[in-house]
Structure 1
Amino acid sequence: MSRSSSVRDILDKAVAGTRLDDADALALLQSHDLAAIGAAAEAVSRQKHPESYRTYNIDRNINYTNVCTAVCDFCAFYRGPKSDEGYVLPREVLLQKIQETVDLGGNQILLQGGLHPQFKLDWYEEMLGDIKSRFPQVNVHGFSPPELHHFTKMNRLSITEVLTRLKAAGLGSIPGGGAEILNDRVRGEITRGKVMTDDWLGVMRAWHELGGVSSATMMFGHVETLAERVEHLRRLRELQDETGGFTAFICWTFQPEHTEMSELPKIGSFEYLKMLAVSRLYLDNIPNLQSSWVTQGLKIGQMALMFGANDMGSLMIEENVVAEAGTVHYLSLQQIRGSIEEHGFEPRQRDVFYNLVDQELEQKAITANADASARELVQVSL
């Protein structure tokens, strides 16, 4: 059997609803038949999402601190505990950022920081309490698994105890940050002092067992092999089989500029679209895939809707981590909605649980963003 016919058989199997195995996924990643892989991914996406709309969200990335005890060669954002460039956001500044987000129709904040060496769990509980008392309607999508695992060490508590307390304080969902590649060889090569694979998955498992939901991510295109990318997808799929707690998967390409890995070549849109499409075909139990226009820009981000994505991700009112690495793509709400419309879909705003926002509130957000753009007050990044 030729490689082309083998790939065709794999794609036919996926479109027919048969689960792919690791060898199938690896064969697809080794293939250069991007058009066929993309077409199959779009077919599967339409099977899972036959609705007439595609979605987006409005939120804000708020990094409450950049101080971090871990050393990640791929990160241009963090600062060591002794750095003069380290910061912790004053509480009123944090709350003002959330107010600005609400004013623009946002229903969520993405709250993340580094692995700070001083703060105990009650500091984070107080922060969540301040947010929820002022903005009870805003979902806090907060604290990546590396942070949460760090909290267990700082407080000598189990991950279930940490999560239970944070949930009671107002934590609504968990982002999938810090996954990079879920393989310990890769993690050991690119980071030190940070959660390894089983503990990353353990944080997510414990959160799902408490009834919480989270997103899953992948940052690829650095030191990993294609087989290790497949291993990453498998570990996510296995946990999703177990818990069902992942609402979405987001993958993006490593941005090497201004990092300790800047000598690595930056991979392009061909590999991004292929990885996205293979993810859609392999991750048959994760309902939503987001476009990463943040790293790919408008046109490729829009093309992602033809390669398995059903969501354009977030209008990011603020983003710092990817921007620090030199990649800054700006999209307005009008551009995001227009990208969806050009594919023949109705653009709809959603929340973190992928529930559609009331259309009256959606229209208010459209008007607010248009007014803000006219005043040149909003810079949309990531």
Structure 2
Amino acid sequence: MEMLDLEWVRKIGLDDIYEKVRAGLRLSIEDGERLFACPDVVSVGALAHQVRTRMHGRAAYYVVNQHINYSNVCVNGCRFCAFSRRKGEPQAFQLTSSEVVDKVAARRDDRITEVHIVGGCHPELPFGYYEEILCRIKQLRPEVLIKAFTAVEIAHFAAREGISTREVLMRLKSAGLDMLPGGGAEVFSPRIRGLLCPEKLSGQGWLEINREAHELGIKTNATMLYGHIETERERLEHLAALRRLQDETAGFVCFIPLPFQPANTGIEGVEATTGVEDLKTIAVSRLMLDNFAHIKAYWVMLTVKTAQVALHFGADDFDGTVVEEKIGHMAGAESEQALTRAEIERIIAEAGFEPVERNSFFERLAPQVDEAV
């Protein structure tokens, strides 16, 4: 393994953290604060790259997936969200269950392995709508894994239906749900949630629903929305809370740091994150989350070029082909709407890594010779 220059590490005051990383010891929140404070982002990245290389070698993962947003009508009104609308407002939309299934059917000939479905907390859609979507997609493409509905949506379904979140999860699993995405975590800090999304499920509630999912054998992802009004300490407390739950359940598959996209949101005076902040946040996440196997560089929000560099800063996953992603783009994301398998493999290879196609659970898939998607 390539080593950092010890004299330089000592000079920038990270020698004890370096020794912890080499020994595979857990970093503290205070260690994380020092990493964020370090002006040498390349050295912080090099520490994270050591961990990433130890875990995955030169492999960089991607998935051939399809995103479907079934509706942006939402009761929560989060200030940081440019995606949601109230019912009847301009740009509000809601797909019928048949329209959702038709989107999957339209790509029936593509070798998609994951369908990713999320939407707003709609005030009127019955729970049967969501069950029907899952059942019909599984009937249409039984080989495809369905990653659908954040913990926030799960809580909303339970409240609307008058049942427990555990029962919601059990019924969705019976209907065909394979995994939960990690959205809705934002930053767990009660201060932040009180200011930005007081109507939304609490951070503790998000963790509890993920714990329930893990207990039921449903794997989940985890996210953090950073770069708005949170402090670095609050970011680190968020990571520590995820790490504690992972210690208990081992149910998280991947962590996705999401840079806040300020365009068209209700938060004024906040600038978009810089590349340095994005790379440092990914690196610190890799170093803090010692019990998470995978860190994703979500190119939709980072841009392809930053995500490519992020593979040298601790990230080992590039996400996937992604078709029709609306949430990040309605908030001003300027990345492409989709990439082909060939494009992703070229981007990963040019960064110096081995492209590895995976499924939702990071199981390696056999290489494909066709480039249809």
Residue 190 of structure 1, CA deviation: 0.8
1:322-356 Cα offsets, whole Å, 9 max, x none, are 11012121244333211221233321211000011
CA contact (8 A) 2:101 2:133 kept: no
1:11 equivalent in alignment to 2:18: yes
1:306 equivalent in alignment to 2:349: no
Residue 123 of structure 1, CA deviation: 2.3
1:24-61 Cα offsets, whole Å, 9 max, x none, are 111111211211111110110111113x4321011121
1:125 equivalent in alignment to 2:122: no
Question: Structure 2 vs 1, CA of residues 353 and 263 (structure 1 numbering), >3 Å: closer, same or farther?
Answer: same
CA contact (8 A) 1:179 1:217 kept: yes
1:271-293 Cα offsets, whole Å, 9 max, x none, are 01001001101100000111122
Structure 1 unaligned spans of 5+: 370-382
Question: Structure 2 vs 1, CA of residues 349 and 101 (structure 1 numbering), >3 Å: closer, same or farther?
Answer: farther
Q: Percent identity?
A: 38
- Residue in structure 1 matching 2:333, options 327, 337, 340: 327
1:272 is paired with a residue whose SS is: helix
Question: Structure 2 vs 1, CA of residues 165 and 4 (structure 1 numbering), >3 Å: closer, same or farther?
Answer: farther
1: CA distance between counterparts of 2:107 and 2:233? 40
2:14 is paired with a residue whose SS is: helix
CA contact (8 A) 2:12 2:38 kept: no
The equivalent of 2:349 in structure 1 is: 341
- Residue in structure 1 matching 2:212, options 201, 206, 210: 206
The equivalent of 1:249 in structure 2 is: 255
- Residue in structure 2 matching 1:284, options 260, 284, 290: 290
**Amino acid corresponding to residue 362 of structure 2 in structure 1:** Y
**Amino acid corresponding to residue 249 of structure 1 in structure 2:** F
The equivalent of 2:372 in structure 1 is: 368
1: CA distance between counterparts of 2:15 and 2:109? 49
**Amino acid corresponding to residue 269 of structure 2 in structure 1:** E
**Amino acid corresponding to residue 130 of structure 1 in structure 2:** R
2: CA distance between counterparts of 1:231 and 1:292? 22
2:178 is paired with a residue whose SS is: strand
TM-score relative to the length of structure 1: 0.91
1:97-136 Cα offsets, whole Å, 9 max, x none, are 1133443321111101111111232221122111111111
1:357 equivalent in alignment to 2:365: yes
2:369 is paired with a residue whose SS is: helix
The equivalent of 1:379 in structure 2 is: none
The equivalent of 1:88 in structure 2 is: 94
CA contact (8 A) 1:59 1:101 kept: no
CA contact (8 A) 2:262 2:331 kept: yes
- Residue in structure 2 matching 1:233, options 227, 236, 239: 239
1:127 is paired with a residue whose SS is: helix
**Amino acid corresponding to residue 14 of structure 1 in structure 2:** V
Structure 2 unaligned spans of 5+: 1-8
The equivalent of 2:44 in structure 1 is: 37
1: CA distance between counterparts of 2:264 and 2:17? 39
1:281 is paired with a residue whose SS is: helix
- Residue in structure 1 matching 2:302, options 281, 293, 296: 296
1:172-203 Cα offsets, whole Å, 9 max, x none, are 10000011111111111111311011100011
Question: Structure 2 vs 1, CA of residues 146 and 53 (structure 1 numbering), >3 Å: closer, same or farther?
Answer: same
Q: How does 1:162-241 map to 2 (within 5 A)?
A: 162-241=168-247
1:46 equivalent in alignment to 2:39: no
1:131-175 Cα offsets, whole Å, 9 max, x none, are 111111111100001100111111121111110111001111000
1:75-103 Cα offsets, whole Å, 9 max, x none, are 11111134253222123321221133443
Q: How does 1:18-167 map to 2 (within 5 A)?
A: 18-50=25-57, 52-167=58-173
Residue 4 of structure 1, CA deviation: 4.7
2: CA distance between counterparts of 1:301 and 1:5? 26
CA contact (8 A) 2:105 2:140 kept: no
Q: Number of paired residues? A: 363
